[in-house]
Structure 1
Amino acid sequence: MGLSGGELDRMAMAVLQPGFEGTEPPDWLRRALGEGLGGVVLFARNIARNIARNIARDVARDVARNNARGSVAALVADLRRERPDVVVAVDEEGGAVTRLEAATGSSWPGNLALGVAGDESLTRRVARQIGRMVAAAGITLDYAPVVDVNADPRNPVIGVRSFGSDPDEVGRHGAAWIEGLQSAGVAACAKHFPGHGDTVTDSHLALPAVRASREVIERRDLPPFRAAIAAGVRAVMCGHLLVPAVDALPATLSRAVLTGLLREELGFDGLVVTDAIEMRAVSALHEPGEIAVRALAAGADAICVGVSSAQGESVYALRDAITGAVRDGRLTDERLAEAAGRVRDLAAWYDARAEARAAVARDADEGLGLAAATAALRATPAEQAAAPLTKAPLVVHLAARPSQAVGRATPLKVGQAIEEILPGTATAEVDGDGHLPDLSEAGRPLVIVVHDAVRHAWMRRLLEEALRARPDAVVVETGMPGPPAGRLYLTTHGNSTASARAAARWLTGGA
């Protein structure tokens, strides 16, 4: 292609999507945007928190949300002044994974709750409202939805982020979510190709392997991605996964996966973006520049970099690694130009949908988040006739450390949501090293809240201990359901502020 040094530098910058520190663009980022940086990814750390965390009351939490959304819109506007067509990305899945509502918890239930509710029109409406929020901030690309099929209930990083364990249901709800989000003028991104559901390792910490046969992968993991592509999804994120039935290389670095399977076999022609390259699944194998080069050569178009150095040196090092690989012949300039072109195409798609974003701004769907979360509640015994809580309970949360995908999100806890309705509610939080509080207070109902008890032996042990002392306790599971326990077992199928409020209202009779 015969590119000049300056053209090659700009093309290499165009395929990078780095994160940064702070609530204003640092000087290095402004300079990089002027030098062709194609994208930026936002995290909770970039969103100003003007109200204290874990706020209990509706009015205060609404103020916090509005402040956060206003701050990120101003930040994005600042970025666009440096480069109008910059692709600004964010992880806004709803449920446990939220960046724009990290300080208050998501107003929307997550994917498993929507899958359990079983209404694709509801899924589409929820995604459109998430799109409304993302569009109001001026964001181009939402790294959502997760369309992994949650084949292993022990999965530490997917779980309630998946629509479920049935490929067809995941495909239908994934397509509806994509349609809803993109109707708001924001690009969706199906993840994590070719499927992260049948793993027991968190790719933030190590390289997971999907040991299934090619036949099983075709039947179980690929249908939701086919459905996403048919729905017109604008981007696909590859997972840092080893899939031996397809290739001996991790998917992010595999031409067989990204080009052979995704491009040629599934027919996807949109943007392929990597998961964050500092995740240990790949960072333990290669230096960042080498990961970027190999991913681009394999067929990726955009390199997500969650963490950048304070002065941006790491971003420029990635640029130099990419240009060096082109000069050395390890990466063709045609492949780099193709990748940069897909980044520009996504930006152009976003620019062409200003009217859709203006329309969705006028389309508030009040009460939808709570209604959707309520539709996902399931109780055992199902014939429970009366509200189990008529006076302030003791609520004990058995809490494990959330996965890194959840990040800094701080949803309203079930105990806090109950306290909004029943003042005087007492709460306690116990982790894997802790001990149960005194449960014997006469006359006070007991609620035990667990999250993914099926994955945590210590949590099951403490739950059994609590139920031996108080067989009358109500148990609320906010993660993957397990065997019913307690006088009443209520499952929310997700951990969000919306789900906590839905559970509290159900337990107290809908007050």
Structure 2
Amino acid sequence: MDEQVLLRVLGNLFLLAFDGTVLSKELQKLIEGHYVGAILLTSKNLESAEQAMHLITSLQYCAYRAGYERPLLVAIDQENGSLNSLVDKSITQFPSAMGMAAAASPGLTRKVAMATASELSCIGVNWIIGPVLDILSASRPSPLGVRSFGDDPITVLAHGLETVRGFKNAGVACCGKHFPSYGDVKFADGTELSMPSMDATMEDLQNRAVIPFRVCGQVGLSAILVGGYSLRIAGKTISYACLEKSVVHGILREQCHFDGVVVSECLTMESLCEDIGISQAVTRAVRAGCDMLTICQSHQAQLEGIAALKLAVQDGVIPLQVVQASNNRINAMKDGCTSWERALCPQGPTRLADLHMEHLALSGEAYRGAISLVRDAVDGLVCIRNLPNDKEVLLLTPLLEPFPSTATRRTIQETATTFRQFQLAPGEDTFQLFGTILAEHLKVRLTHTSYSSNGLRPLHEELISRSSAVIIMTADATRNTYQYGITKHVNMQCRYQPDEDGRARPLVVVALSSPHDFLTDKDINTYICTYDFTTPSLKNLALLLAGKLDSTSKLPLAAVQPAKLDTLERQTNAAWLVESYDGTRDWLGLEKFMRLISTTPESLDFLSPAGRANDEGSKRKCFVVRNSSTGTILGLLVTLIFQSQSDGQIETVLVDPNRKGVGIETSLREHALRYLASIRGFPGAGIGST
């Protein structure tokens, strides 16, 4: 294949992110010199809808001038709720996935998805990294929380299908995530700072986790993102799902019959870079069956990844027909969601503003359904609604940064003068507007204060004792455990310290995100979940508390109980990228490697930067498996060619003791044998020291 054609094919397989809000010189070089196929935009790239459109158009013009046959894929995470990469007054706010599932109308979910995609299409976005198709665990809270439609496969499938159809109707590609499922992961040390893992039998995967991916793939799902977590199936431990052929090709391609684009998790994950490095990750992801390789950060890592793929193809580690097939699938997706006419001339802000006005009613309908009265065992809401005007209600809220929507910022600024006589701590202003609205609806005196991980102070105790009712808000209390403890304390105080009339104070607990916070705690008599704390959500909460809105939504979760976490194991086998030894690049790593293995061959002087290990006139040729991100040498092989060129051998094979049995030695030997066989007149190879 022609060198230039090969560069275009290989570049098309990369999905890259970058820093900044304009087309940088580094990104321009990646487009013009390496022909990258897709760009991932994140919140750090996006300031407004108009700025986003100018940025995207500049990216497309850069690709057009570089001679691209098809436009760039321009991807964005826009899951609605509290997780949006682009926030602007002309971008309509909709509920989270779980909020939509609570509304219990798949048809409404399709309309919301189509509205979201239509608005993003106006500014040039042609690919949404969503929907989340993970089914949450039925036995423990999940870090995905409200990003998922729930823990019932039928619910997740129904809303996932309609989301895919909504995106497709708007002419925007989509990418289901995080195959095979991030919904049931555990963490080795109980915190989300450790590597997530999932235990499952093949039957579990087929009958539960992969169902939404399999079915959505059959109705037009453009792409599927495979996660980067550890997976243990039938006793075999896989360190990174997206690097494992039995997962990507075996389960996704063969068992689920998915023929769209397979996207890898970001290959610059810290654990992955420290473990094997970006070059090895790129090679293994493609060999596993991934079509598109995600590299989210570090320009240097992106260059390393592109170079590694080229080397792997040239060396035969990755067959050329494999990358050609991936290129064809990516081009087919591009043909379905973009064209040069659409890419260079998006509909723009005027059309976006018109759509936004059309979608406001849809947003209102969705948010009215996205609030759940989980239980009200003792008619706590009735008690609050019937309080006399001279009674006091206490509102306790955690310190949270306001959701970064223009509407939220504007309303906070507009009401700031009302509270300027108070000194507010960071995060205290998030619920100021809500408190004002609630007081107007309830027609009572309302006192609002915040609480934090420092616990309750005497002032809190005094406010509780003088109030006639308490409303306390939590946000992911299963992770922010101080919120759980404080809420339980307030509940006990309300129950056992009667008010001035001798009655127990009504307590209403509101979960602002996941309903898991107090889902199974029946000591909390009145419990509401809003699924996010955006402005529309909080306004509806005020209406519900005041009796002006009925909650008819369905809780999209079963009762859950905490479960113990298991430890992780390492993957046992893989193919590794082998590179020629470079003394200047690899010498420091080699010195550390030799100290690690505590052994030294008779002479390795030729490996020093001044040596001639890979000189054409040298009798030796050396190869390494290395972590390109850290410079760590994981394995070394030395071949010896006799002067007659009629015979040769593998002289030395050394492998990091901590990496034995994971395929490094096999990859080195196979590469060396291919090299020796390529030498003219060379009949075979012997084996030297190991």
Residue 467 of structure 1 and its aligned partner are, at CA, apart by 2.4
Residue 327 of structure 1 and its aligned partner are, at CA, apart by 1.9
Q: 1:300 to 1:492 in 2, by over 3 A?
A: same
Deviations 1:65-105 (A, max 9, x none): xxx11111111111111115011111111112211128999
Q: Aligned residues: percent identity?
A: 23
Q: Which residue of 108, 127, 130 corresponds with 1:144?
A: 130
Asked if 1:132 is matched to 2:130, the reply is no
CA distance in 2, matches of 1:283, 1:231: 36
Residue 282 of structure 1 and its aligned partner are, at CA, apart by 3.0
Q: Could you tell me which amino acid in structure 1 is paired with residue 376 of structure 2?
A: P
Asked if 1:185 is matched to 2:171, the reply is yes
Residue 301 of structure 1 and its aligned partner are, at CA, apart by 1.1
CA distance in 2, matches of 1:168, 1:78: 42
Match of 1:212 in 2: 200
Alignment of 1:3-402 (within 5 A): 3-35=1-33, 36-48=35-47, 68-84=48-64, 85-101=71-87, 107-152=93-138, 154-201=140-187, 205-245=193-233, 248-249=237-238, 250-280=240-270, 282-308=272-298, 312-351=299-338, 364-379=358-373, 380-381=375-376, 384-385=381-382, 388=385, 394-398=394-398
Match of 1:460 in 2: 484
Worse-superposed segment, 196-205 or 220-229 = 196-205
* Residues 370, 502 of structure 1: 8 Å contact kept: no
Q: 1:276 to 1:431 in 2, by over 3 A?
A: farther
SS at match of 1:240: coil
Deviations 1:195-222 (A, max 9, x none): 1111133998443222121111211101
* Residues 104, 409 of structure 1: 8 Å contact kept: no
Residue 42 of structure 1 and its aligned partner are, at CA, apart by 0.7
Residue 428 of structure 1 and its aligned partner are, at CA, apart by 4.2
Q: 1:295 to 1:213 in 2, by over 3 A?
A: same
CA distance in 2, matches of 1:16, 1:325: 15
Q: Could you tell me which amino acid in structure 1 is paired with residue 369 of structure 2?
A: A
Count of residue pairs brought into register by the alignment: 482
Alignment RMSD? 3.3
Asked if 1:440 is matched to 2:462, the reply is yes
Q: Could you tell me which amino acid in structure 2 is paired with residue 344 of structure 1?
A: N
Residue 507 of structure 1 and its aligned partner are, at CA, apart by 2.2
* Residues 95, 110 of structure 1: 8 Å contact kept: yes
Residue 45 of structure 1 and its aligned partner are, at CA, apart by 0.6
Match of 2:657 in 1: none
Unaligned runs of 5+ in 2: 65-70, 409-429, 495-504, 550-690
Residue 145 of structure 1 and its aligned partner are, at CA, apart by 0.6
The TM-score with structure 2 as length reference comes to 0.64
Worse-superposed segment, 358-367 or 73-82 = 358-367
CA distance in 2, matches of 1:416, 1:289: 51
Residue 280 of structure 1 and its aligned partner are, at CA, apart by 3.7
CA distance in 2, matches of 1:489, 1:316: 51
* Residues 207, 240 of structure 1: 8 Å contact kept: no
Question: Rg: which structure is higher?
Answer: 2
Worse-superposed segment, 431-440 or 445-454 = 431-440
Residue 27 of structure 1 and its aligned partner are, at CA, apart by 1.0
* Residues 142, 184 of structure 2: 8 Å contact kept: no
CA distance in 2, matches of 1:414, 1:399: 9
SS at match of 1:438: helix
* Residues 473, 488 of structure 1: 8 Å contact kept: yes
Q: 1:104 to 1:127 in 2, by over 3 A?
A: same
Alignment of 1:471-510 (within 5 A): 471-481=505-515, 482=519, 483=521, 488-510=526-548
* Residues 49, 90 of structure 2: 8 Å contact kept: no
Q: 1:495 to 1:297 in 2, by over 3 A?
A: farther
SS at match of 2:84: coil
CA distance in 2, matches of 1:332, 1:389: 74
Q: Higher RCO, 1 or 2 (CA under 8 Å, sep at least 6)?
A: 1
Q: 1:237 to 1:106 in 2, by over 3 A?
A: farther
* Residues 437, 539 of structure 2: 8 Å contact kept: no
* Residues 243, 251 of structure 1: 8 Å contact kept: yes
CA distance in 1, matches of 2:108, 2:131: 15
Unaligned runs of 5+ in 1: 49-67
Asked if 1:469 is matched to 2:497, the reply is no
* Residues 155, 200 of structure 1: 8 Å contact kept: no
SS at match of 1:373: helix
SS at match of 2:196: coil
Deviations 1:379-404 (A, max 9, x none): 221864587498895432236899xx
The TM-score with structure 1 as length reference comes to 0.84
Q: Relative to total residues, which structure has the larger strand share, 1 or 2?
A: 2
Q: 1:70 to 1:154 in 2, by over 3 A?
A: farther
CA distance in 1, matches of 2:168, 2:31: 26
Deviations 1:234-275 (A, max 9, x none): 011111122322753321101111111111211111111122
Deviations 1:339-370 (A, max 9, x none): 22222222211126969x97996653322223
* Residues 113, 166 of structure 2: 8 Å contact kept: yes
* Residues 418, 501 of structure 1: 8 Å contact kept: no
Q: Could you tell me which amino acid in structure 2 is paired with residue 448 of structure 1?
A: I
Q: 1:73 to 1:464 in 2, by over 3 A?
A: same
Worse-superposed segment, 389-398 or 328-337 = 389-398
SS at match of 1:175: helix
Q: 1:373 to 1:484 in 2, by over 3 A?
A: farther
CA distance in 2, matches of 1:240, 1:448: 37
